[in-house]
Amino acid sequence: MRRNLEATIETFPIAGTFTISRGSKTEAEVITCSISEGSVSGRGECVPYKRYGESMDGVLADIRAVGDAIRSGLTRLELQSHMKPGAARNAVDCALWDLEAKLGGTRVADAIGVTSLKPFITAFTLSLGEPEAMAAEARKNAYRPLLKVKLGTDNDEARLRAIRNAAPATRLIVDANEGWTEDNLAHHMAIAAETNVSLIEQPLPAGKDAALAGIRRLVTVCADESVHATKDLESLRDRYDAVNIKLDKTGGLTEALAMKAEAQRLGFAVMIGCMVGSSLAMAPAVLLAQDADYADLDGPLLLARDRPDGLHYEGSLVYPPDAGLWG
């Protein structure tokens, strides 16, 4: 039976404003891909990212362009060479995983060998702001076991100290979003070590991170913008201790599974991360993160409105998706 592909843009309001070193936004724009066979339909969601040269219109066009191939029987494995890694392939790949599970009367978790699904702790993200404002947010969320704080300015010391004072018992992840420099790297890393930060994510710009190989890394350093797919891992071993795997970078769950296995083989700690999207985008990543070292899958917690069949969160615990959502 022939398959049909549809793709649409959807908007979800953010609760307040989400700010990183590259800018702010008040809504999450996502693209939802639906692939149907008869009366059965599978869904996938992606979040195009301008930092990687993606736009809503461009990704939407890339998804729709593969429609004829899908109708002609393109498989999920063939998709890996048919489309380049990135948001567009992620939406199509995850829609195919969902469709395959529904057609077969199975769950994606079983297909990827995850036999015991369980809830786990996800980081909760604090937007970049002035030290006092970030400290107030940290204090409000100090009950959470893991906070991720957006930094990436010339003077993050005041922010780090204020946040740590406000949440003295909480584990902290710092995400600099490529905002530090070779000149202030050592200083900021020393402050991170002093304030007991567990992990620093992408302190230097991708392609300009060689300095990480030449310093003593006092805190675990995680690659994000520097790593997209499995082929990138080997070259990063001298400068990073961990990698952040996001489905919108890898181009879907299929490549993410391969990348995670290789990262673990090479000795990297693994974080499973996300863009700001709905529960539909998080659902496949929740399966991927079952045995990860860190999870940052709080996208729906940052929204004012999620999908009606969204993931269940209990504090900082995120629960596996129901079949009605995905997989």
Q: Tens of pLDDT along 226-253?
A: 999 999 999 999 999 999 999 999 999 9
Instruction: Give the domain extent around 310.
Output: 120-318
The answer on pLDDT for 261 being more than 80 is yes
Q: Tell whether 105 and 138 lie within a shared domain.
A: no
Q: Does residue 73 lie within any of the structural domains?
A: yes
Give the distance from CA 28 to its chain's centroid: 14
Q: How far apart are CA 317 and CA 319, in angstroms?
A: 7
Is 137 part of any domain?
A: yes
Catalytic residue among 148, 246, 249, 260: 246
Q: Is the pLDDT of residue 21 over 80?
A: no
CATH code for the domain in which residue 134 is found: 3.20.20.120
**Is 246 a catalytic site residue?**
yes
- Are 94 and 134 in the same domain? no
Q: Is residue 114 part of a domain?
A: no
Residues 145 and 236 in one domain: yes
How much is the average pLDDT of 46-51? Answer: 95
- For the chain, the straight-line distance linking the first and the last C-alpha, in angstroms and rounded, comes to 21
DSSP string, 96-165: HHHHHHHHHT--HHHHTT--S---EE--EEE----HHHHHHHHHHTTTSSEEEEE--SS--HHHHHHHHH
User: What is the per-residue pLDDT across 170-217, written as a single tens digit (0 to 9) for each?
Assistant: 999 999 999 999 999 999 999 999 999 999 999 999 999 999 999 999
Instruction: Give the chain's mean pLDDT.
Output: 96
CATH number of the domain encompassing residue 25: 3.30.390.10
Helices (H), the chain: 56-65, 67-71, 76-82, 87-104, 108-111, 131-140, 157-166, 182-194, 247-250, 253-266, 279-288
- Residues 37, 157 share a domain: no
pLDDT of residue 115: 86
CA angle 13, 244, 261 (to 5 degrees): 130
- Say how far apart CA 58 and CA 241 lie, in whole Å: 34
pTM value?
A: 0.96
Q: What pLDDT band is residue 145 in, cutting at 50, 70 and 90?
A: very high
At 33-47, the pLDDT tens digits run 999 999 999 999 999
In the annotation, is 150 catalytic? yes
- 102, 148, 150, 260: which one is catalytic? 150
pLDDT bracket for residue 16 (50, 70, 90):
confident
171 assigned to some structural domain: yes
Beta bridge partners of 174: 149, 200
Residue 24 lies in a domain: yes
Final residue of a structural domain among 109, 138, 157: 109
Whether 150 and 279 share a structural domain: yes
Confidence at 271, pLDDT banded by 50, 70, 90? very high
Do 178 and 297 lie in one domain? The reply is yes
Q: How many domains does the chain divide into?
A: 2
Q: Is the residue at 324 inside a domain?
A: no
